[in-house]
Structure 1
């Protein structure tokens, strides 16, 4: 059985609440590397939304999340139509 790679999680990762909706923002990369950061959002209903493109920094990833919330609202992550990819 292959071992799961260890991950380094950004200090910017965590729960985010807006408009009565809480999501978990996870920003991570392989531990011990200077690789690109990946971002996922997990909803209250355990839906997983992944960004396809990696981010050079964890701040860039979090800023993208904040921009999405500002432009589309946090409820965009709860929409019925396949929200799994951004």
Structure 2
């Protein structure tokens, strides 16, 4: 039996962030060994997930985009589950 699931590399910039009393899990990851870029996924404590459509060239760029969205849009806009969010 073989395991066809790719190995995932998680950025050290990933982690829990609390802003305005709301906590989210910022997940920055890529397929290990690939040059496909880093993905950004923000998950609320109730399991709602916002994933950016396009990968970032570096994990630092993904983290910077999260910080930009946090500052400009706010944490509630990032995790809004009842309306589509496209980044």
- Interval containing the TM-score (normalised by the shorter chain): 0.7 to 0.9
CA distance in 1, matches of 2:18, 2:4: 33
Aligned partner of 2:84 among 59, 76, 82: 82
Q: Which blocks of at least 5 consecutive residues in structure 2 are unaligned?
A: none
Q: TM-score, normalised by structure 2?
A: 0.87
What secondary structure does 1:63 align onto?
A: helix
After TM superposition, the structure 1 = structure 2 runs for residues 45-60 of structure 1, keeping only pairs within 5 Å, are 45-60=46-61
Query: Does the Cα contact within 8 Å between 2:26 and 2:43 map onto a contact in 1?
Result: yes
After TM superposition, the structure 1 = structure 2 runs for residues 17-56 of structure 1, keeping only pairs within 5 Å, are 17-56=18-57
Q: Which blocks of at least 5 consecutive residues in structure 1 are unaligned?
A: none
| RMSD of aligned alpha carbons | 1.7
Q: TM-score, normalised by structure 1?
A: 0.88
